[in-house]
A and B are shown apart, each in its own frame.
Chain A
Amino acid sequence: MKVRVHVSLKNGVLDPQGRAIHHALEGLGFAGVKDVRAGRLIELDVADSVTDESLEDMCRKLLANQVIENFRIEKVA
């Protein structure tokens, strides 16, 4: 089973990398970009027996730092 874990910064947490990307886009002449937030995509290939609870546990214990990040689990196939 393929699983994608989307890790994003929580609202209200300043994102220096997103801001730098935003700045670079403007430098390239792209107009109309209002905000940029950079996150992380982690793709897992797991046995079908792995439970939803176990996936959430992986996110809480390692893949995301819940002080600053949210996570979303997406099952691809």
Chain B
Amino acid sequence: MKCLLPFLLLLAIPNAWGQTERLYYPRQREDYIFLQGLRQRHLYHLAERYCKDKLLRDDLSLPERAILTSELIVTLNEWGMETEDSNERQSRWQEAISVAEAFYRRFPTSDWRFIVALMDLKYRITVASAIREEMQLGTAYTEAISDASFLDEIRSILRKTINALKDREAELQEVFRRPKSGSAKDDGSVFQEQQWLSLEKHLQFELARGFAELARTYPAKSEDHTAGMVEAARRLEVLSQLPLDHPLGVPSRLALARILRELGDGARSTDILKGLAEEKLSLDERFALRVELIRLALATQQKEELDKLLAMGRLIEGKTAPQLDNAFLEAFLEKWKNARANNSDEARAWEAKIREILNGLRQNGPAFWARRAELLVTQQIAGNQVHQNIDMNVYLAENAYRAKRWEEALAAFDRARKAAEQQGNPVRALQLGLAAAAIEHERERHQEAWRRYQDLYRSFSDQEGAKDAAELAIFHVGQLAKENPTEFLPLYQQELENYLRMWPQSEFACQAALYLGKIHNHFGHRIDAANYLLLSLESWLQHVASLEPQKRESAPIAPDTPSQSQTSQYSVIQTVSELETVTARILQDESQRPDTRQRLRELAQRLATWAKQARAHAPEEDWSLRVATIATQLLLKGANDPHSADAVLEQFLPEPLDTIDHLDVTVKARSLSLKLECDAWLEQSNDNAQIVRLMREIPIEARLTVLEDLGTRLSELPPQVRKRLALSLAHICEDLPKEWSSVPGPRRPQLGLAYSYVLMLSDNESAALSWLRQLAAEFPDAADIQEEYALLLARQDRMDLRQEALERFRAIAQGTPEGSPRWFRAKYMTAWLLIQLGQPERALEMIRVLEAIHPELGGDALRDRFRRLRALCENQITNSRPTSAGTAR
């Protein structure tokens, strides 16, 4: 027990959070030095691991276990202090408390639990103090501290800690009252009287700290503040009588001096501090003394004394300490503030010094002190109405940003922006606003980012950077629209429209118009969609054309050429494809609407204009012909104007036509088939043979697409046009029966039918009949094919074929839901064929029964035909003579 006398955690100096120097048994001293080294290097996880691994051992003596437990408590608490993330901090501090409590539970009557308890409670005060300081520095300066609810929680912690310390104090008194026993073991597990006395002093010291800290949670000079400080001072007055070489001698005096300063008794505080001769103090004590002297000079406004202290510099024996750096920072801030108030040029010099300290702390100092320093500067700037200083706010914002204290960074950037606006510097204000918005952008807080960028481009619309802000606003509201289209798609659309209105010539305009086109298409506004898609192409061309010649050389003419410019991400071909799809839907669904025709004609004219410009700009691309075919289709099918359609197409078809070979096969097939269609309308046949020949050279796959499109539309065309086209198509697809096996199964029914129409309309009925016979055998369940084949059979003069037709219509009627249009058609054809086959009575009976149970007879058109057929039957029966009147479909 020889070494145990000063065994306790002896406060060498009340530095950062009361870091302690401990004297242990010689064999633990090495552990302590090792752990302290780890903590100083911020290797907290290793220190924690070391303690925890050792504590798992069963052969530890009680003192060893208590000391390691204490070290673990210190490690976890200091680690928490250094941690930025508040959740992690909380969890480390909480674990430190749990470690202590586990020790109390395991050794409830051991003397050593006092040591662990003292360490635990001491750090609770330290942690509470650190949180209070950070919160008070971070709290809005307008808010009265006494009203701040967060302080209630800290008070609660401190009160519980003070009570726990008092309980230990009472237990100690109980120990002192116990009769002295001479038989105490001397193995270190039981304390001796001197040890208890030393422990009692440390308890008094921690109680004083606890009361002082509790007092600091109240406004200065309030009743609670004064009462707590007086109680702390009372306890420290006794301890400060200890000799200076006692472990608590200097700390008690420094703590008392601070309390007296805070109570406004600068004179007594000065006396105490002057009693501490630096040369007799340890290095840590010297730093602590210097800190207190600076604060005292600040509090008592002793300018000369303060200058003298500052002139001594931040180094003592070639070393710095973060506590002293912070005290210097407080002094520099005060000087800076005064200089600004006096409009002195010195302000910049003080700013530089402030930055120097902040930078140093951020680079080298413990995170806790760096954070505290930044908070202090922030509070000074915000709280002293000096937030007009753009540079300082930016500096703070950048520091906060680097430390990932986003809200603080945003607030500082906002203050800086406001200051720049007030100082009439919109360029800087926009830059600062963009910096703040970029933080939200980085955090992927789309709504906040969108609002900020929106505010910026609206507020600074005449500034160069406003366009960038608008593009970023679009990006963020676009992300929101992805997640929640109902709420944000209309807002996204609005942003795009705003953008196009404000920067129609910009590089991004083509993208904005493209997105608008897609949105309108999504909502089914296809003509608007087509207009925007075309606007997108126009904007792109306009932008590329506006580039300087050198730039244009490297401009993204090829749609997928990588480039840093935004247009490089823009694909002309993709937009043209979108336009093809949208216009195809318009022609399919809307072209018959009377109000559409004129709009389609206008669209076609713009498309033709674009195609001309595109050809001039990029003659090697096929964009112009592709867009011209869209215009041609709109004029031909939407505006019913084959002359204009042909005129547009003629301009873009290659000359001579044979050179079309180099084009993409789809473009080639589409443009040639359109030319055929125009020629059919205009009764032109000069190029027909050449077009058919060129089309025959196209692979069957592409020709089938033409057949699908044109073949199925033939019936909608006027008879002469239909016939001309059918004749051409029959030639173009002559090899279809031979190539039939290569046609994919799912496409066969529709293609087969389209080909049968082509054959029928080109007056090749026998080929059509045999083709349909083959199809009907291949697709016995395809009602369309069965019906078409039966109809063609019915049209034949041969009785056996008509009989076959009759059987097929009976089968169709039987396999079709009663009352459906096909069922009625099959019934009609059955009756018609019965007449043709000389059985008008049966036909009549059939129609009458049908009429009795389905009086509507399949709707207006078919009902009339049924009735005519019925009249015919009645006539034939009456006259008893055969007739060939009546028509198959």
A binds B: no
Interface residues of B, Cβ cutoff 8 Å to A: none
